[in-house]
Amino acid sequence: MKTLLPIPGSESALTLHRYPQRKNETLQAFDAADEYMIAHASTWSVGKNARILIINDQFGALSCWASQQGFDVFQVSDSVISQQATIENLAHNDLAGITQLTSLDTLPADIDAVMLRVPKSSKMLTWQLQQLASVTDAHTLVLASAKAKEIHTSTLNQFEHWLGATTTSLAKKKARLIFTTPTKQLVPQPDPVNDVDVPEFSMRLANWPNVFSAKKLDIAAYLMLPHIPSQAHLKRIVDLGCGNGVLALQAARNNPAAFIYAVDESHMAVASAKHNLNRHDIDSRRFLCEARDCLTGFEHTDIDLVLCNPPFHQQQTITDHIAWQMFCDAKRVLTTNGELLVIGNRHLGYHTKLKRLFGHVTVVASNKKFVILKAVNA
Ligand SMILES: C[S@@+](CC[C@H](N)C(=O)[O-])C[C@H]1O[C@@H](n2cnc3c(N)ncnc32)[C@H](O)[C@@H]1O
């Protein structure tokens, strides 16, 4: 696995790792889209102190490069993991700190250049381009990149629609660049939030654009809802990887005396969960919605129930290591006899993982595709 990213026009290289760093890591912290973008940005004639806005940097490769050039770097990210990876990679490479903003913060003004990794969600892209339109003009250099297969005509149309004239590069190592000249500043802003109704459970769930399954309720979440327990002894409940907070909300309703922690690594997920708990009249003294990498830094060890519909992607890569980290973290925070309730696709094999960790696992419900498992912290 490659950890050295050569810097164009110099003898030096950046050493980059994913976050959290794992033993025997097989996945790189940068890809061809990062390399292509850095190679192109190295040809820019911008001043030493130029203000560079970097959006959706994955593990900090772009931000580290820009910091190394001496630029004034503003990084916008929806992901706690990307933010943390950036902090660690800057430190490994002895680079100056940068300004980190979340996806919900207002973009800084007077930006000289923008480097944007095209996000997976087209709604997120719309939101980010529309934000960019208000801080860029025809003098701002705007460069975007993605894997070639992720750049569709509709993607380019979005750039044209929200910003201005757009062209693309040839593909290189299966990545492509997008160049845009921003000329459109007064386009009406779309509402970033999408409401999803779940009438069977009397829910209307708001979803900020980067939230998992923002357009319709995830089928696994829907299957999990009727199995969320309602028991008087449940005083502290964690919804781990809460997304829009659908499971947290049902847990709060079923257990009116319980305190609910809703945790996700996406800032937009955390904002959505908070909004949805408030919207459904859950007393704000009864819950806390927090952006974290799994339960890193979560100090409580008296949790009675953890609910988890784990992710099986990190950025664009399919992986089960986050699920494993979530299960390990759940075990650490559960009280004796505390329960972890997990839903997953059958083929993901969560049963084996949970058995290894907890010793015993019960099947609560299942259908052809999904299984709900319970593990008790004996
Ligand atoms: C399958 S979705 C489930 C969302 C929601 N609970 C539901 O059931 O619809 C998994 C969630 O885990 C979040 N996630 C991914 N990696 C994470 C991590 N390292 N720490 C915390 N949350 C994470 C994702 O942002 C996503 O919202």
- What is the per-residue pLDDT for 186? 60
- Asked if residue 31 has its Cβ within 6 Å of ligand 1, the reply is no
- Asked if residue 344 has its Cβ within 6 Å of ligand 1, the reply is no
- Asked if residue 207 has its Cβ within 6 Å of ligand 1, the reply is no
Phi and psi for 327 in degrees, rounded to 5? -65, -45
pLDDT at 106 over 90: yes
pLDDT at 285 over 80: yes
- Asked if residue 212 has its Cβ within 6 Å of ligand 1, the reply is yes
Domain 194-376 in the same topology as domain 4-180: yes
Distance 311 CA to ligand 1 centre (A): 5
- Asked if residue 268 has its Cβ within 6 Å of ligand 1, the reply is no
Ligand 1, atom 11, lies closest to the CA of 241
Phi and psi for 81 in degrees, rounded to 5? -65, -45
- What is the per-residue pLDDT for 315? 59
Given the CA of residue 217, which atom of ligand 1 is nearest to it? 9
Q: Taking residues 109-114, what's their average pLDDT? A: 96
Distance 367 CA to ligand 1 centre (A): 22
pLDDT at 319 over 80: no
Could you read off the pLDDT of 329-368 as tens digits, one per residue?
999 999 999 999 999 999 999 999 999 999 999 999 999 9
Query: Is 65 or 26 the better-scoring residue by pLDDT?
Result: 65
Q: How confident is the model at residue 26 (pLDDT cuts 50, 70, 90)?
A: confident
pLDDT at 318 over 70: no
pLDDT at 280 over 90: yes
CA–CA dist 233, 211 (Å, integer): 31
Average pLDDT, the chain: 95
Distance 45 CA to ligand 1 centre (A): 41
- What is the per-residue pLDDT for 376? 98
- Asked if residue 218 has its Cβ within 6 Å of ligand 1, the reply is yes
pLDDT at 145 over 90: yes
Q: How confident is the model at residue 23 (pLDDT cuts 50, 70, 90)?
A: confident
DSSP 337-376: EEEEEEEEEGGG-HHHHHHHHHS-EEEEEE-SSEEEEEEE
- Asked if residue 372 has its Cβ within 6 Å of ligand 1, the reply is no
Determine which of 43-47, 279-283, 325-329 has the lowest per-residue pLDDT on average.
Answer: 43-47
Task: Provide, rounded to the nearest whole percent, the portion of the chain with pLDDT above 70.
Answer: 97
Q: Taking residues 166-178, what's their average pLDDT? A: 98
- What is the per-residue pLDDT for 190? 72
List, edge to edge, every strand of the sheet that includes 72-77: 99-102, 72-77, 51-55, 113-117, 141-147, 175-180, 166-168
Domain ranges of the chain: 4-180, 194-376
Helix axis angle, 61-68 to 32-41, nearest 10°: 20
pLDDT at 188 over 70: no
17 touches 92 (CB < 8 A): yes
**Tell me, which fold does domain 194-376 have in CATH?**
Rossmann fold (3.40.50)
- What is the per-residue pLDDT for 5? 96
Give the mutation target among 322, 324, 326, 327 for probing the ligand 1 site: most ligand atoms within 8 A of CB.
Answer: 322
Q: Taking residues 254-269, what's their average pLDDT? A: 98
Residue at token pair 């939030």? 193
- What is the per-residue pLDDT for 64? 98
- What is the per-residue pLDDT for 22? 86
Architecture of the domain delimited by 4-180: 3-Layer(aba) Sandwich (3.40)
Q: How confident is the model at residue 166 (pLDDT cuts 50, 70, 90)?
A: very high
Could you read off the pLDDT of 232-258 as tens digits, one per residue?
999 999 999 999 999 999 999 999 999
Q: How confident is the model at residue 42 (pLDDT cuts 50, 70, 90)?
A: very high
- What is the per-residue pLDDT for 316? 60
pLDDT at 35 over 70: yes
pLDDT at 314 over 90: no
CA–CA dist 154, 320 (Å, integer): 31
Q: How confident is the model at residue 218 (pLDDT cuts 50, 70, 90)?
A: very high
